[in-house]
Amino acid sequence: MENDKHKLKKEEITKVAFKEWGKTCFFNMSLSLIANKMKITKASIYRYFKNKDELLESLVTYFFNGYWVNSKPFFEDSKSQNFEEFLYSYIKFHFYFYGKNPEFLYFFTSSTTKNAMFNNPDYKRIEIYERELMCNKIKEYNIPISHNEAEYYLRFIYGLGIFLTFYFLSLNEKKEMNPLSDFDVEKLINLTYEISLNGFRNGNISPNIDFEEIENHSSVKKEEIYERNKIFDAITSVVAEEGLWSASLDKIAKKAGMSKSSFYFHFKNKEEMFSDMVYKEITRIKDIFIEKQRKYNTFPEKLYCDMVVDATYMLKDLRIMHFFNWLHFQRLNTKLFKKNDKKYNEFLNEKYFFINEAIESNLIKNYSLDLKIISSLLNMQIVKEILVTTFIGSGFSFENLRYIFKYFLVGITRISTDYGEGISENLCKSALCHSTKN
């Protein structure tokens, strides 16, 4: 048995590791960072941990302990709350916690991106408990959506909140590791809440479209994807395994069977190599979409066509999905696209012209988010759903995509207006109340 002194020191090392590695978004997990902070030797760390794997396991325990301690008030209050109170509290708990403790957010996204979280018993326990809470509240409030759809709604909210937390953190420029201010956390919570309720729709747009026809027409075929070379294969394989941060030129060159120096005939540096590959992929996706969307006249049809193209393109090669996933959650440290990148802005305006047109004609709101953020949010929701369903073995289906489309476009308030009687008026009042606080 560990004596108290040994146990306390072990807990201190874990706490310091979580904080110091969290400052690097858990991309640089060197023991030197811990040793330097604690003014001890790296060797002395092994007096308390058998190996680095045991230390990494202690981080998982630390994460869930932090989660459970902070979640108690939310879970206790949820029992007596109606649906809109529960939804607001759910969003407030999770994203106040992540906004004020960004190292917990980085640990969660880093672990899920590596598929290291899904089999964890604590993660499964939280997932089941929160899912049942959401489903019970929806049933209790007579919201006319199925149990299945309620599960997808929970995933949509969580993905939305995580993405927006990253967005608010990224506004800190060089202070990305700093906790959010109370003002920014309040903005984050209210924005997540309002989009979760109402989606982006502003005008009289119905989510009722011919899904099956668009899926059949817009699905990307194998022959529409250009032939890739061994450099592409090496980049995507290493990034899928290691992440963008750890995908060194040495590892990529070894995977490609090339010398490191030969890469400099093609690229100036690693960042140019990544951005060149991304541009080629997103340009091809854009070209496919532009051709397929010509058939459709309405914004919802073009939106769903875009989603089908993105999803089926990534499903043809899951390495692309993994690359985009790392790009979303390591973008705080890997700036592939500058703020005024002319080439990237041209791509955005060409591919997402229909979103710009819808905003200009007041069909949809932009919530003061620019086109890059709105399009990235949409892509992230698709990537996240492919990642989750692939890992748990259920397989990605168009049903998943239809749910994302509906929640993105009309939220849950408007879905109940379109599909049944009930909550629209009360929820709209609640959303207005919360969004005008402070």
As a whole number of angstroms, the distance between CA 21 and CA 27 comes to: 7
Instruction: Report the pLDDT value the prediction gives residue 240, as an integer from 0 to 100.
Output: 76
Q: What residue type is 99 in one-letter code? A: G
Q: Is 50 helix (H, G, I), strand (E, B) or coil?
A: coil
pLDDT surpasses 80 at 418? no
Range scoring the smallest mean pLDDT among 94-103, 243-252, 328-337: 328-337
Pick from 181, 174, 178, 95: which is nearest to 333 by CA?
A: 174
Q: Is 198 helix (H, G, I), strand (E, B) or coil?
A: helix
Residue appearing with tokens 């090496």: 234
For the chain, give the number of residues. Answer: 438
Q: What residue type is 387 in one-letter code? A: L
Burial environment of residue 408 by CB neighbours within 10 A (0 to 12, 13 to 18, 19 or more): buried
pTM of the model: 0.88
> Residue 107 in contact with residue 26, Cβ under 8 Å?
yes
Instruction: Report the pLDDT value the prediction gives residue 398, as an integer from 0 to 100.
Output: 95
Query: Percentage of the chain surpassing pLDDT 90?
Result: 50
pLDDT surpasses 90 at 407? yes
Q: Please report the domains of the chain, with CATH numbers, ordered by start residue.
A: 4-198 (1.10.357.10), 211-398 (1.10.357.10)
pLDDT surpasses 80 at 296? yes
* For residues 50-71, average pLDDT: 93
DSSP state of 173: G
